[in-house]
Structure 1
Amino acid sequence: MNTVLPLVERAVPPLGLPESAREGIARTPFGLYVHVPFCATRCGYCDFNTYTSDELGPGANRAEYAGTAIAELHRAARELGPDLPTVSTVFVGGGTPTLLPAADLAAVLGTIRELFPVADDVEVTTEANPETVDRSYLEQLRGAGFTRVSLGMQSAAEHVLAVLDRRHTPGRAVQAARDARAAGFEHVNLDLIYGTPGETDADWAASLEAVLASPVDHVSAYALIVEEGTRLARRIGRGELPMPDDDVLADRYEQADATLRRAGFDWYEVSNWATSDAARCRHNELYWANANWWGIGPGAHSHVGGLRWWNVKHPAAYADRLATGQSPHAEAEVLDEDDRALETVMLGLRLRDGLPLTALSDSGRVRAATAVDRGLLSADAYGRGLAVLTDRGRLLADAVVRDLTD
């Protein structure tokens, strides 16, 4: 069976930032996201824009990828100039960025420093699969200027990892976190997924205990979402595995929140906990604040001054565009005031800091008062002019957002 993905191309005009998007560029917080689309294997639950070696055709090899990403960085600097924004955060995600040599990731970061003004306290994060890093690799990243590492743990239970098609063994993520600390990383995150078919209460408790036994200052915990087209969705569709149960997901979330709070972690976004303000992921906070960022890489999304665009998805098409001097973007849209107001509410409601009630429409403020009565929004915060989710509200965050934005 031929698994090489076809390339579908059509003519796309140059991006070109309109003057309306340029207004305030230098004054608005700005981040860079670098997408690395390669994975050793495809996890059964994942629908991200990632590829294994047998899915890629010519022009999309790992050995040349850093140079291709660097080419888009040069293009970004030209588009954003001459009054370039100061980079406050860099996030290298994927995929599995740490499938690339540490020297390649260092070269990308070095180019960012050459092309852009960079904040003295810049946060530089890379995602990593635990099996792809060791202390030596992490020391190279730390020496290159990376300040934060986010490790995909998902679970401490071997049978749960097997259902998710994760390759690392139980315990490897915790050891990778220790290696990161030993390499000099002050900020280390572990990602968890809860609600996997076959996961028991004891499995989830053991995963949380393993996290707390590791030297991390940040934890992300996400409910398993069964995405259409994934191997997991097909297995559930065939009846091999049960669909995640909403009540179980709620129980898992409450268990995580209680366990993490006792250990000194506070939630600052519905799915994220940190031991201090300094330990928060500032790059994600930039997204949630609807600030500016440029996404480098195939399928990466960007937002600058109300202009949003996204790149072609296939790595070979992306590389070809840049090699021939074309913009790699596939589509672009200008967000109007209503769009931006809606996104401000959708993102802000998920934050512990809350959302000013003035950001809601008249009808939204009426429904916010009802949400207070129902125990979904904090009465105290409401009295201070803020919409802040209660503990119960966090369990129903998506429904609250929909209710206040419809």
Structure 2
Amino acid sequence: MSRVPAKLRTGDEEGALAATSGDNSTDHADESVRLPMDLCDNAPDWHRWVVQQVGAAGGGARDADAALRAFVVERFGPGVLDTHDWAYTPGSGRMLDHLLGSVPRARRGAVLPTYQRVASALPNGAPDTSIDVAAPDWSRAHFTPPTQEPGLFVINALHANPLASSLAPGFLADVAQYARSTGLLLVEDDPFRGISPLDDRWPTLLSLHPQGTVYLGSWTKLLGWPVKIGFVGWPRGCRAAEKLRAAAPTPEASALIDLATVLTTDRAVRIRRRRDALLTSRRAAVAALLRTLDWPFVPPSGGAHLALLTGQDLQLRNILAAERIGGLDAAQFYPRSASRPSRPFLRLGLSNVTEQDWDDLMAALERVLAHLEADFRDCSSVDDR
């Protein structure tokens, strides 16, 4: 029998995603919005289908730890069992909160722009390196070591939030070299890897600097799993990681059985393929619309979201919110104390659009963007390609 909570099995309840305010808070639950490029994380139609795959798999995978080990070996190769200890988490976000909260504020660092929860946890004058969004292709970015040496450094390397553009191998190699030379503990927050079948082209920090990288993954993003479940790889023999590992949060054991069942069959492959097809078609639809409107944007290298390049990100966000279309302005992805980025953008996000609402959402997005003045489009942010 499926152990996914009943309300997620039936699809009778849809979560409402709150529009996020300018202070990085998420306490405005009454501001429900629809978001383009749905990952179906909260969509009942997707959850019902995933649960059907659980039932079709037949159950019986009671050894959840063995299922996790098999999964990471398939994903990263057998060597990761020698370098890392692997465990389930109640979502990569919860683990990020734990890691950041366990390190003194002055020792936290990140590559910017980064997740809201990371940005809001960074202190004044945080050790960070910032990538300007002037070019849609981040391959030209170079890692610049922070002026202050951090103790823990968070990187979203693949389909990096919030721009959905992956960091170049050379950039990651420089990060790894910096960590080796300073003893820095890296946190590779990598929830989107595996959504695209082409993700293997991009290296992991896990492979470049295994002795100093804590790896975070997510099945909530990868499979659209109805319960928040992720996984973490703790570098074996790393003192800094061992201290953080001791009090790390763990998920309810009962939530893992269905997931383990799927991971040990071909059902996980089927879910990933269908998810990739869904996201590929939706990325293409949104990109085609923006090109038709001559609106500059960062083409996603994978993942399931993109960034509109705009000179008036906050105003555009408010206009979209009035139409119940969600978006987050650039300042959300920088520490609260940091100055606004030189190239504003608006991130179009991921969740809560069902199939039956998709066409209406696209029509609303076109209606809003088509009638905005030209000065909303930051064409200077796009290169000649």
Instruction: Answer with 1 or 2: which has the greater Rg.
Output: 1
* Bigger share in strand: 1
Question: TM-score scaled by structure 2?
Answer: 0.28
Of structures 1 and 2, the one with the larger relative CO (CA 8 A, separation 6+) is 2
Question: TM-score scaled by structure 1?
Answer: 0.27
